[in-house]
Structure 1
Amino acid sequence: MKNLILSAAILLGMMSIDANASTHAKEIKTSISVQTEYTEVTADAVPAAVKTALQTAYPGAKLDKAFVNEKKEYKLEISVGDQKATVYSDVNGNWLKI
């Protein structure tokens, strides 16, 4: 009789441990970033304020390619010596962090 009661207690204990372990749900977070589309433009289409800011911040920089989006933000691919970089500016020549 003791063995039967002990077995039942162990069995019930095991069932409650399993029930507690399965109640923990993992939370999954997903982030989506939307990239703004840029359209390539000629160097002549870049405003003078952006060109001036580029030469002030990066003396001797050569503008390789320029892109603009619908918010009039400019993506500039530049090269200074043997280094290449991509910088972002608004239409007034203020630098953006992207």
Structure 2
Amino acid sequence: MKKLILSAVILLGTMSIHAKTWTVSEDSKTTVAIQSEYTEVAADAVPAAVKTALQTAYPGAKLVKAFVNEKKEYKLEISVGDQKATVYSDVNGNWLKI
């Protein structure tokens, strides 16, 4: 009986040595980037200044899709040859870095 109790004590003792408590930090921060929603517009609705800037910067580029947000910033999906790209412009044809 002594051996049984001694075995149980040794077994429980070794199990508690390997137990580890995890600390959880509650100071974590979550960063959310909010981007303005773009709505699709017809290619005819894109201002002439934006179209001119597009042809100047990317000769031979074809406007595939155009989107605009409430700040009058344009998201243009273009294709030049077999390559596709997305560029951003303001209403005056100035390129934006997003």
Q: TM-score, normalised by structure 2?
A: 0.72
Q: Which residue of 1 aligns with 2:81?
A: 81
The sequence identity of aligned pairs, in percent, is: 84
Question: CA–CA distance in 1 between the matches of 2:79 and 2:28?
Answer: 41
Q: Which residue of 1 aligns with 2:9?
A: none
Question: CA–CA distance in 1 between the matches of 2:26 and 2:38?
Answer: 38
Q: TM-score, normalised by structure 1?
A: 0.72
Q: Displacement, 1:27? A: 4.7
Runs of 5+ consecutive residues of structure 2 not aligned to the other structure:
1-21
Q: Which residue of 2 aligns with 1:17?
A: none
Q: CA RMSD in A?
A: 1.9
Question: CA–CA distance in 1 between the matches of 2:26 and 2:81?
Answer: 50
Higher helix share: 1
Say whether residues 1:48 and 2:48 are aligned partners.
yes
Task: Give 1:31's aligned amino acid.
Answer: T
Aligned length: 78
Runs of 5+ consecutive residues of structure 1 not aligned to the other structure:
1-21
Question: CA–CA distance in 2 between the matches of 1:28 and 1:56?
Answer: 47
Question: CA–CA distance in 2 between the matches of 1:27 and 1:41?
Answer: 43
Q: Displacement, 1:29? A: 3.2
Q: Which residue of 1 aligns with 2:96?
A: 96
Q: Which residue of 1 aligns with 2:16?
A: none
Q: Which residue of 2 aligns with 1:61?
A: 61
- Structure 1 residues 59-86: Cα deviation after superposition (integer angstroms, max 9, x where no partner): 0000000000000000000000000000
